[in-house]
Structure 1
Amino acid sequence: MLNASDQSFPFPILIGDIGGTNARFALLVDAGSEPLQLPPIKTGDFATIEEAMRKSILDKTAVAPRSAILAVAGPIKGDEIPLTNAGWVIRPKDMLAGLGLEDVLVINDFEAQALAIAAPADEDLVQIGGGSVRPQASRVVLGPGTGLGVAGLVYAQHTWIPVPGEGGHVDIGPRTERDFRIWPFLDPIEGRMAGEQILCGRGIMNLYRAVCAADGLEPELKDQAEVTTSALSGADPAAVETVSLFATYLGRVAGDMALIFMARGGVFLAGGISQKILPALMKPEFRAAFEDKAPHSALMRTIPTFAVIHPMAALSGLAAFARAPRAFGVATEGRRWRS
């Protein structure tokens, strides 16, 4: 960690949420301003992040950022940071040399999501089921998207501390008779079923094909969007069951994470998939699976669950950190580069 006097970043600050499919950016001119949202970028449209930032941001704005705080989908080790589900490799030294930046910090994408749930606005949340938030108690955020992101947020020494990890890769197994019929048709990863094999965009298709195969049906829907749209409209019974099971399995994993972190401050579902299938998550299956954690079901009923409906939640978390970095216990060692 840096010394207290060394934690701030020079403004203007470019903040970015770099996912496997999309990269979203905003400019923070000073500590008192609202982030200036910039158009999203498809990571596949550019060979490198430097090219994307130059052509889509720096060449189109008169504001020259001096710092960059980036949240990326992947582990951060060394001077080259490959994205887990995209072709970019983040090289902060190249960004300093080629983009005129003075200061670059790279954190995990779900650290940014965790920062966003420290003090979310009421209008950015939809509560699913019962329970109530205990202030300054631990929290968890999960986000099914290109993969399944998970992070904790703990409060200690008057500071919110994000805890990144790879919780989306925990094992998930069958429990019900229906699960045992479907499970043989799911595509595993190296012989095991990880949460991310089901609870993400491609996981929806994995689950849909398995539901069809278990019933001897030919899958007719071609992608995740078709499955979720058909499920919400009730047009396709296999899609309806797929999204219902998705909600159930997400509830199970969310409950596991709540127990791991003792998340009496709440469990928060982030990302576009959670927002799109919110009507399904509001049905009994998600919350029932979340609470079904004997011998701790009574405890689980007291823990609230929320869908985060802020369209740019990670950027709001990064902006909160950029304005007041001393309020958050974000580790910078090995993840901050300066010119």
Structure 2
Amino acid sequence: MSLPLLNQVPAGGMTVLAGDVGGTKTNLAIYQVTPQGIKMAQSARYASAEYKSLTSILQHFLSDYDLPKPHRISLGVAGPVLNGKVDLTNLSWVLDQSAIARDMGVEKVVLINDLEAMAYGLAGLQPEDFLTIHAGQEKAVGNMAIIAPGTGLGEAGLYWDGKAYFPFPTEGGHCDFSPRTDLDMDLCKYLQLSGGVVSWEKVAAGPAVTSIYTFLRDVKKKEEPSWLTEQLALEKDDSAVISQAALHNKAAICVETMDLFIRYIARETSNLVLKMKATGGVFLGGGIPPKIAPLLMKEAFYRHFMDCDRMQHMLEGVPIQIIKNDKTGLLGAAYYGAYGEW
């Protein structure tokens, strides 16, 4: 993939502290940047909620590995970056790049949306970093799109100008959910009782698995086996328990939950491709798709993806791939830190 190289790297090289900051985890890495390319020197992962601030995590990282102060800091963050500031969507942090620069003693600090960072990171991936759901048209060209179900639902695009791809962020995951069936309508009404506006994030991100399951159990009176009740009480992550039970076909209610979840991801993926005219391909990133890849690779996902209004002839040529590399956003933040125009 060809991305624009807007900044020239100094002949002596430099170091970039790159980060992928989400509501659940923060991945950090130091990259050595030379005119020949970028190379990771050290990386670590931190539980975001266990720290009072992002600056605290950055300082811990440098201290933990006895690392010198970097030349630049480039952070992909889960939320809309406005004038160098962001209120993280699923974490109670407000980040300001000028404040981070002051606290860290680093002159050049930049915040970009985490999905924009993931889009930049695509350029550094290899064929083995992907799983193909649908091959699409050979040598497909045109805009691309990324949808990333995780703690939230991230979405981004890559504009193709005929020579290079230009990533840009969106907040499309917060657009209104569009129910189709009676069951969808009932779920929407159920979610409205506790959450107000029902966006796509409410039905196609990680927490949605538990919400859909609870709706089927409590409203639709689907049976919850006793062993599952016990396991849900013991485990912290209900979504993981439910998805694993579905993957192994251990409980009908879990299978139905994931059938709905997969359908909603497929429908919003299709919506995103249509809105971006992403004929060059669409990528499923984030923490969830690799974990439920066997479900996404089944016929149902592609069938629901194709179930659109009169544009099947366009959708059938679009390659659909799962990003397996969980460091894609980190790599993209490093790329932008090294070469971005900021």
Q: Please state which band the TM-score falls in when normalised by the shorter chain.
A: 0.7 to 0.9
Give per-residue Cα distances to partners, 1:172-224, cap 9 Å, x unaligned: 23323543454443346764321001111111111111122343146534611
Partner of 2:47 in structure 1? 42
**301, 305, 317: which one aligns with 1:302:** 317
Q: Secondary structure at the match of 1:208?
A: helix
Q: In structure 1, how many angstroms separate the alpha carbons of the residues matched to 2:241 and 2:253?
A: 12
How does the TM-score come out when normalised to structure 2?
Answer: 0.87
Asked if residue 204 in structure 1 is aligned to residue 190 in structure 2, the reply is no
Q: In structure 2, how many angstroms separate the alpha carbons of the residues matched to 1:162 and 1:46?
A: 30
Asked if residue 117 in structure 1 is aligned to residue 127 in structure 2, the reply is no
Partner of 1:269 in structure 2? 284
Q: Is the alpha carbon distance of 1:265 and 1:46 closer, same or farther for their aligned partners in structure 2, counting shifts above 3 Å?
A: same
Partner of 2:27 in structure 1? 24
Q: In structure 2, how many angstroms separate the alpha carbons of the residues matched to 1:259 and 1:174?
A: 18
**246, 250, 266: which one aligns with 2:261:** 246
Where does 1:84-99 land on structure 2 (aligned, <5 Å)?
A: 84-99=89-104
Q: In structure 1, how many angstroms separate the alpha carbons of the residues matched to 2:195 and 2:256?
A: 26
Work out whether residues 12 and 63 of structure 1, in 8 Å CA contact, stay in contact via their aligned partners in 2.
Answer: no
Q: Is the alpha carbon distance of 1:260 and 1:190 closer, same or farther for their aligned partners in structure 2, counting shifts above 3 Å?
A: same
Q: In structure 2, how many angstroms separate the alpha carbons of the residues matched to 1:110 and 1:303?
A: 20
Deviation at 1:157, TM superposition (A): 6.5
Deviation at 1:102, TM superposition (A): 1.9
Q: In structure 2, how many angstroms separate the alpha carbons of the residues matched to 1:314 and 1:322?
A: 12
Work out whether residues 84 and 110 of structure 2, in 8 Å CA contact, stay in contact via their aligned partners in 1.
Answer: no
Where does 1:130-141 land on structure 2 (aligned, <5 Å)?
A: 130-132=135-137, 134=139, 136-141=141-146
Work out whether residues 186 and 207 of structure 1, in 8 Å CA contact, stay in contact via their aligned partners in 2.
Answer: no
Q: In structure 2, how many angstroms separate the alpha carbons of the residues matched to 1:257 and 1:41?
A: 31
Q: Secondary structure at the match of 2:110?
A: strand
Partner of 1:67 in structure 2? 72
Q: In structure 2, how many angstroms separate the alpha carbons of the residues matched to 1:168 and 1:133?
A: 29
Q: In structure 1, how many angstroms separate the alpha carbons of the residues matched to 2:263 and 2:334?
A: 33
Work out whether residues 124 and 331 of structure 2, in 8 Å CA contact, stay in contact via their aligned partners in 1.
Answer: no
**147, 152, 156: which one aligns with 2:157:** 152
Deviation at 1:123, TM superposition (A): 0.7
RMSD (Å) for aligned C-alpha atoms = 2.4
Q: In structure 2, how many angstroms separate the alpha carbons of the residues matched to 1:218 and 1:57?
A: 50
Structure 1 residue runs without a partner (length 5+): 333-339
Q: In structure 2, how many angstroms separate the alpha carbons of the residues matched to 1:133 and 1:100?
A: 49
Work out whether residues 72 and 337 of structure 2, in 8 Å CA contact, stay in contact via their aligned partners in 1.
Answer: no
Q: In structure 1, how many angstroms separate the alpha carbons of the residues matched to 2:336 and 2:9?
A: 10
Partner of 2:293 in structure 1? 278
* Higher mean C-alpha displacement, 54-63 vs 309-318: 54-63
Q: In structure 2, how many angstroms separate the alpha carbons of the residues matched to 1:217 and 1:189?
A: 21
Q: How many positions carry a matched residue from both structures?
A: 324
Q: Secondary structure at the match of 1:242?
A: helix
Q: In structure 1, how many angstroms separate the alpha carbons of the residues matched to 2:196 and 2:57?
A: 37
**49, 56, 67: which one aligns with 1:51:** 56
Q: In structure 1, how many angstroms separate the alpha carbons of the residues matched to 2:78 and 2:177?
A: 22
Q: Is the alpha carbon distance of 1:211 and 1:98 closer, same or farther for their aligned partners in structure 2, counting shifts above 3 Å?
A: same
Over the matched positions of the two proteins, sequence identity in percent amounts to: 30
Q: Is the alpha carbon distance of 1:316 and 1:7 closer, same or farther for their aligned partners in structure 2, counting shifts above 3 Å?
A: same
Structure 2 residue runs without a partner (length 5+): none
Q: In structure 1, how many angstroms separate the alpha carbons of the residues matched to 2:108 and 2:223?
A: 53
Q: In structure 2, how many angstroms separate the alpha carbons of the residues matched to 1:5 and 1:199?
A: 35
Asked if residue 176 in structure 1 is aligned to residue 176 in structure 2, the reply is no
Deviation at 1:285, TM superposition (A): 1.4
Partner of 1:314 in structure 2? 329
Deviation at 1:26, TM superposition (A): 0.9
How does the TM-score come out when normalised to structure 1?
Answer: 0.87
**1, 15, 21: which one aligns with 1:12:** 15
Partner of 1:335 in structure 2? none
